Amino acid sequence: MGIRIWGHRPHIMSLGDIHTPVLLERCVELLAPALTREGAVLVDATLGMGGHSEALLKRFPEVNLVGLDRDQDALRIAGERLAGFGDRVHLVHTVYDGIDAALKESGFDAADGILFDLGVSSLQLDVADRGFAYSQDAPLDMRMDQTTGPMASYVLATYSEGELRRIFERYGEEKLSGRYARAIIRSRDEVPIERSGQLVDILVAATPYAAQRAGHPAKRVFQALRIEVNGELSVLERAIPAALERLPVGGRIVVMSYQSLEDRIVKRELARATASTSPAGLPVELPEHAPRFRLLVKGAELASDEERARNPRATPVRLRAAERVRDAA
C-alpha cells in the first residue's frame, strides 16, 4: 500500500510554505528506541504537513508510517512532501481517535511509536479562508475537515445564550463568557454573523477597556469555537487510550499539547496508564497489578528559550511521553 491522497481541492499552499516542526529533535530522541526495531511502525496521529514524519522517515529507513489527518489539504501537502518514501507511507483521512481502523486499513496490527501534535496547525492558521485566525477576516468555518460537519457560523447562529456561554467558559476559560454570549445574541438578531471580522468587532465592543490590555478579546472565544466545531476534547479523550492500547512492550507515545485543556486530558490518561492497580493494603505489589507504562518525561516538558525564539509556535507547547513496560494482564 502506498501513499493515498484524498480530495481535489486547489493547491492553496505549497511545499515552500511549510513551517518548522515543534520540538522536532526532542520527538526524534524520545521515539528513537521504539523505531529501531525491524519493520517498526510509526503512527503520526496529527500528520499536518508532514514535518515530523519526514524527519523520522529519514532517520529510521526501515520505519513504516501511518499518517492520520482529518484535513484533506494537509494530506495533499504531506503526500507531496513524503512521496519519495514510496510504499513506506500510508496516509489515512480520519480523525485521530481512528487509530485502530487506520492501522488495520494500512495492514498493521500495532504501532511501535505514536506521535500527537495537537491543536490547530500552521496550515489552518495561515490560510485565511479557513476562519481560524482572528487576525484575518474570513468566513467563519473553522472545520478541520471541510468535507463534513457544521461551521462556526452555524454555532453562532443557532446556539442559545446559555450554550454559547458554556462553550466559552469550558473551552476558552473565558471570564467574560456571559457578556460575550449576550453581545452575540444581540448582534445576530440584527444581521447574521458569518465572518471572523464581524465576530472580532462584536467581541472588542463588548470588552471593557481595562480587559483589552490583558490580551486580544477574541483569542479565547475563537479557541472555544474551534474546539466545539471539531469536537477536539472528546476526540482526544478517546484517542489517547486507543493509542496506548496499540503499543507493544517497548512502544512509545509522545504528545504535544498547546493549551491547558488538552494537556489535562493527556496528563490524566498517562497517569492512569502509569499507576499501579494493586488494592490498597497489599504489602507487596503483585506482577499483574504493576503499571503498564512508565513516564519518559517528568511533568510537562517545555520548549527551550532558543527554540521559542527560533520558532514562536513552540511557545505554549507542553510535551509528555511514556513507554509501555508490561502487557495487559
| Residues 317 and 302: beta-carbon distance below 8 Å | yes
What's the CA gap between 18 and 144, in Å, rounded? 18
Give the number of other Cβ atoms within 10 Å of residue 302's Cβ: 15
φ/ψ of 42, rounded to 5, equals: -110, 130
Look at residue 266 in the predicted model and tell me its pLDDT: 98
Instruction: Determine what percent of the chain falls in helix, strand and coil, rounding each to the nearest 5.
Output: 45, 10, 40
DSSP strand pairing (252-257 vs 113-117): parallel
Strands (E) across the chain are located at 41-44, 64-69, 89-93, 113-117, 252-257, 293-295, 318-324
Please list the pLDDT of the chain residue by residue as tens digits (329 residues).
344 332 333 334 444 445 679 999 999 999 999 999 889 999 999 999 999 999 999 999 999 999 999 999 899 999 999 999 999 999 999 999 999 999 999 999 999 999 999 977 665 565 666 778 888 899 999 998 988 899 999 999 999 999 999 999 999 999 999 999 999 999 999 999 999 999 999 999 999 988 877 788 899 999 999 999 999 999 999 999 999 999 999 999 999 999 999 999 999 999 999 997 666 666 666 666 689 999 999 999 999 999 999 998 899 999 999 999 998 76
Q: What is this structure's pTM?
A: 0.88
Tell whether 96 is in a known binding site. yes
Look at residue 11 in the predicted model and tell me its pLDDT: 38
Positive or negative: CA dihedral 90, 37, 45, 310: negative
Which top CATH class is 15-124+232-324? alpha beta
List the grid coordinates of 313. Answer: 509556535
Q: How many residues does the chain have?
A: 329
What's the CA gap between 117 and 21, in Å, rounded? 9
Helix axes 161-172, 219-230, angle to 10 degrees: 100
Tell whether 259 is in a known binding site. no
Radius of gyration of the chain from its Cα atoms, rounded to whole angstroms: 21
Look at residue 281 in the predicted model and tell me its pLDDT: 60
Look at residue 141 in the predicted model and tell me its pLDDT: 93
> Where exactly are the structural domains of the chain?
15-124+232-324, 130-230
- Angstrom CA distances, 24 to 214, 218, 267, stand at 31, 30, 21
Tell whether 86 is in a known binding site. no
Look at residue 13 in the predicted model and tell me its pLDDT: 46
Look at residue 1 in the predicted model and tell me its pLDDT: 35
What's the CA gap between 155 and 184, in Å, rounded? 11
Query: What fold, for 130-230?
Result: DNA polymerase; domain 1 (1.10.150)
